[in-house]
Amino acid sequence: MRVSGGRLREPKAEEFVEGPGAPEIPCAHRHRVDRHARWCTPAYRQDFSRRRGGPAGPNSRSASSFRRTLERPWRRSLRRKYRALLLDVYGTLVHEDDDILRPICEQVAELGGVEAGAVAHEWWRLFREATVAAYGDAFRLQRDLSQDTLAETMRLFGVHGDAVALCREQVNFWRFPPIFEDTPPFLEEVRVPVCIVSNIDRHDLESAMAHHGMVVQAVVTSEDARAYKPRPEPFARALSALGLRPEDVLHVGDSPSADVGGAGALGIDTAWINRSGRRPPEGCRPTITVSSLRELLLRLRG
Ligand SMILES: [Mg+2]
């Protein structure tokens, strides 16, 4: 990453030069030259390859991954590139339910005499497995999956209790989530059609959207598609609703697997909203990464 105008940015492909005879770098500031020089050293390139998990070398898999990284289209202006946006909701437009899940896990942990982290880990594992299996005729609503997997988690830790009652706050949260402050101006100022693509039950999403007065051109929930992201059905349904091709749209979301992985697998460009500055997990390769919708709006405007 390089500092440019107070922001971090990836170096341009043509700036990756190495060895003696490399052209002089036309940088105005010394610290920028230093950063550039560090990127250009063979040692740094090898370290980059090693961290990507493969042997270093010009023809190695990690080296080709490195080249692909340089060739990503996000260096071009995004302006006029996309005819519509697909938008995730929880964690992207409104807050995730993390603050609600914590006390639920703490209650179960106290009754079971275990750490809350262990409860959270097990519940999440079971919930993910359940969403992966729930598609087509086997589809089940998210609220049912959440309650059932919490009940199973409680059984695993020998805890007796009412999982449905414990999940009530979570469902309430889904219906009335707090909104990120940059969401209203983003939705107001974005100049292309928007289609919501969310892993949520339709009834809960409609409540959340009405609560915040959100108006978009199309909405696709997992309930509509009978499948959860990262499966292709929700994205395919969104494209069909818009009458567009994968290359016409940008999918925006906070989940490296459900959003970046799911949309990317269909050839859809992706914008990863990384509001908390997380390190991208291995294999997460969004077209662009932004820290907020405000930054995304600036990038879309070019
Ligand atoms: Mg999300």
Verify that 118 and 135 share a domain, yes or no: yes
Q: Ligand 1 centroid vs 91 CA: distance in angstroms?
A: 4
Rg (CA), the chain: 22
Q: Ligand 1 centroid vs 190 CA: distance in angstroms?
A: 19
Which among 81, 84, 78 is positioned nearest to 218, based on CA atoms?
84
Supply the range of the domain harboring residue 57. 2-75
Verify that 110 and 251 share a domain, yes or no: no
From first to last of its 302 residues, the chain has per-residue pLDDT tens of 333 333 333 434 333 333 344 333 333 333 443 444 444 455 655 554 555 454 444 444 554 554 444 434 444 456 568 999 999 999 999 999 988 999 999 999 999 999 999 999 999 999 999 999 999 999 999 999 999 999 999 999 999 989 999 999 999 999 999 999 999 999 999 989 999 999 999 999 999 999 999 999 999 999 999 999 999 999 999 999 999 999 999 999 999 999 999 999 999 999 999 999 999 999 999 999 999 999 999 988 87
Total number of domains in the chain: 3
Verify that 147 and 272 share a domain, yes or no: no
Verify that 203 and 112 share a domain, yes or no: no
Verify that 244 and 288 share a domain, yes or no: yes
Verify that 208 and 91 share a domain, yes or no: yes
The first and second tokens of residue 94, run together, are: 């409104």
Verify that 91 and 212 share a domain, yes or no: yes
Picking from 75, 106, 121, the residue at the C-terminal end of a domain is 75
Verify that 145 and 283 share a domain, yes or no: no
Q: Ligand 1 centroid vs 256 CA: distance in angstroms?
A: 9
Verify that 129 and 183 share a domain, yes or no: no
Q: pLDDT tens for residues 145-199?
A: 999 999 999 999 999 989 999 999 999 999 999 999 999 999 999 989 999 999 9
Verify that 195 and 131 share a domain, yes or no: no
- Tell the residue number behind the tokens 């309430």, with chain if given: 172
Q: Ligand 1 centroid vs 200 CA: distance in angstroms?
A: 10
Picking from 126, 152, 175, the residue at the C-terminal end of a domain is 175
Q: Ligand 1 centroid vs 236 CA: distance in angstroms?
A: 18
DSSP per-residue string spanning 115-171 = -HHHHHHHHHHHHHHHHHH--GGG---HHHHHHHHHHHHHHHTT--S-HHHHHHHHH
Verify that 91 and 143 share a domain, yes or no: no
pTM over 0.75: no
Which residues fall inside 5 Å of ion ligand 1, going by CB? 88, 90-91, 254-255
Q: Ligand 1 centroid vs 61 CA: distance in angstroms?
A: 30
